Structure 1
Amino acid sequence: MESAAKKFPEQFFVQAHPFSDLTLFVQDRELYVDKSVLAVGSKVFRTYLQDATIDSIEILDVSANDMIELLRFLYPQYHCTINNHNVTILLILANRFEIDFVISACRTFTLVYLSKLELNCANELIEQDDGTRLPISSIIEILCIWFREFFYMNDANTCRAVLDKLSQCKTSTIDASNGFKGIDEAIKWRIFQARTKHLETKASLECK
């Protein structure tokens, strides 16, 4: 029979368990975790926990549910997979806390997703692999966030794959995206540069 910890991860982390020796304060909740697990998986936590006296860490700008989603990937009793619903937040948090194996899993998912993504900016809704349909604005917002995260990682190959899709979208649609508004000017410039090159290439082919 599966343990309660396996069935209900949120209950596992919000209640102290026999080996929990670190408390994460996330929003208004306390999450009970194991220093050894976090130190093995995360370079950032490993640095924090070099001080053996630390028994609590406050995590800012992260929801408790998103943090629990990340923690599930660090604990072996949970068999987790990357999907359309968790990849973006996991990518952001894995980058923030330097969790290489989660970054790698997100990268693989992203590249496969992009290889299947057919963008038609004339359509308001884009169908996903799982049958759901997302507004084109939501797709662009996700792509902008992915590009930002992989840009910060200096992951040139994945950045090119994301830019290839973004460059197919109208400049006005990109500019109106909340994901685009929230990124640095240098990253915005890269996106617009890719869009300009796409239009130049398209015009050149049409003239032949």
Structure 2
Amino acid sequence: MTSISTTTTSNNNNKALLTKYPKANASVINNDYLKSSTDQKNFIQKTSIQPFKRHKISHTDSINKMITTTNIDMDIQMTQENNNKHLAEEFFFQLHPFSDLILIVEGQEFYVDKSVLSSVSKVFQLYFQEENINSIEIVDVSSNDMIELLQFLYPQFQCTITYQNVTGLLILARRFEINFILTACRAFILLYISKFNYVHTDSNGINLIEQENGLRITISSILDILCIWYREFYYMNDQLACENLLKKLSQCNIINFNSSKIFNDLEEQLKYKIFQIRAKYLETSRTSTISDAN
């Protein structure tokens, strides 16, 4: 899924630079998204995470408990998020019992446990077997994103997946091969996209989406997110998730696509598949319109 190449410095801190990591099935993503190469893959960040309990996931019920819906009072949610972040900073920004590794992200040091990271991440597990280190610098991730991710790996923090954080979680969980978070993100996304409908135009001719709670948002405001989700699932070879996302993307018009930086930065093969399914959607719509007229 990913590819890791490291650079080890020769100073006393035995610091390594974690930039990429190896695996046969991966893709390249830079800070803005994708650019591929054959056997080396870069990954981006984009995080923001919320509560879903970190314990092992083996049943659908466990996953469902991790998913929050949009009817949560936003003020309460924001307060909880701020409290969670404050507690996490107090824990990770200073040495604590059993911490034996420092993660350096944007100059910020995070005190973590190798045993915790290696127990949930195949990438870290392989990395710790090959390298005897006590600090790692991780690039292409913000410190806020990292602290959000770490909360999901330590059982003392209450975490929930929400629309605001699921994209970052998905990206980082794929990057570090954290399967239980990937599973929960997938469940959340499939549920989310199943509960919104397109309202093609308002009185001003703007394309809209109506969400489950009745709130209408512009297609352009969510198109980038849909493209990111599609890209991530495409490189995970998740056919079902890709099909569901393509159904939503097929209803977006060419103007929305042209104005989306994320879409324009996708690999050509991904853009081709989106336009291919859109062409089928337009053909079906046209056939339906002709039948109705007759």
Shared fold per TM-score greater than 0.5? yes
- Over 3 Å counting, the alpha-carbon distance change for 1:45 and 1:143 in structure 2 is same
> What residue number does 1:181 align with?
264
> What residue number does 2:4 align with?
none
> What residue number does 2:189 align with?
110
> What residue number does 2:170 align with?
91
In 2, distance between residues paired with 1:200 and 1:11? 56
Residue 138 of structure 1, CA deviation: 2.1
Instruction: Give the conservation status (yes or no) of the 8 Å contact 1:43–1:97.
Output: yes
> What residue number does 2:140 align with?
61
Larger helix fraction of residues: 1
Residue 127 of structure 1, CA deviation: 5.3
- Over 3 Å counting, the alpha-carbon distance change for 1:121 and 1:64 in structure 2 is farther
* Residues 137-177 of structure 1, C-alpha deviations (whole Å, 9 max, x = no match): 12111000000000010000000001100101102212211
What are the ranges of 5 or more consecutive residues in structure 1 without an aligned counterpart? Answer: none
- Over 3 Å counting, the alpha-carbon distance change for 1:181 and 1:10 in structure 2 is farther
Alpha-carbon RMSD: 2.1
* Residues 27-77 of structure 1, C-alpha deviations (whole Å, 9 max, x = no match): 121111100000011111111111362211111111010011111111111
Amino acid at match of 2:272: W
What are the ranges of 5 or more consecutive residues in structure 2 without an aligned counterpart? Answer: 1-82
In 1, distance between residues paired with 2:215 and 2:120? 32
- Over 3 Å counting, the alpha-carbon distance change for 1:133 and 1:203 in structure 2 is closer
Q: TM-score w.r.t. structure 1 length?
A: 0.91
What SS does the corresponding residue of 2:159 show, helix, strand or coil?
Answer: coil
Instruction: Give the conservation status (yes or no) of the 8 Å contact 1:44–1:97.
Output: yes
Corresponding position: 1:153 with 2:153: no
- Over 3 Å counting, the alpha-carbon distance change for 1:175 and 1:29 in structure 2 is same
Corresponding position: 1:38 with 2:122: no
Instruction: Give the conservation status (yes or no) of the 8 Å contact 1:27–1:64.
Output: yes
Question: 118-127 or 196-205: which moved more?
Answer: 118-127
Residue correspondences, number: 205
- Over 3 Å counting, the alpha-carbon distance change for 1:167 and 1:38 in structure 2 is same
Residue 178 of structure 1, CA deviation: 2.2
- Over 3 Å counting, the alpha-carbon distance change for 1:138 and 1:6 in structure 2 is closer
> What residue number does 1:139 align with?
222
What SS does the corresponding residue of 1:24 show, helix, strand or coil?
Answer: strand
In 2, distance between residues paired with 1:14 and 1:166? 41
In 2, distance between residues paired with 1:177 and 1:5? 33
Amino acid at match of 2:182: I
> What residue number does 1:201 align with?
284
* Residues 96-128 of structure 1, C-alpha deviations (whole Å, 9 max, x = no match): 110000000000000100110112242556455
Identify the structure with bigger relative contact order (alpha carbons < 8 Å, sequence gap 6+): 2
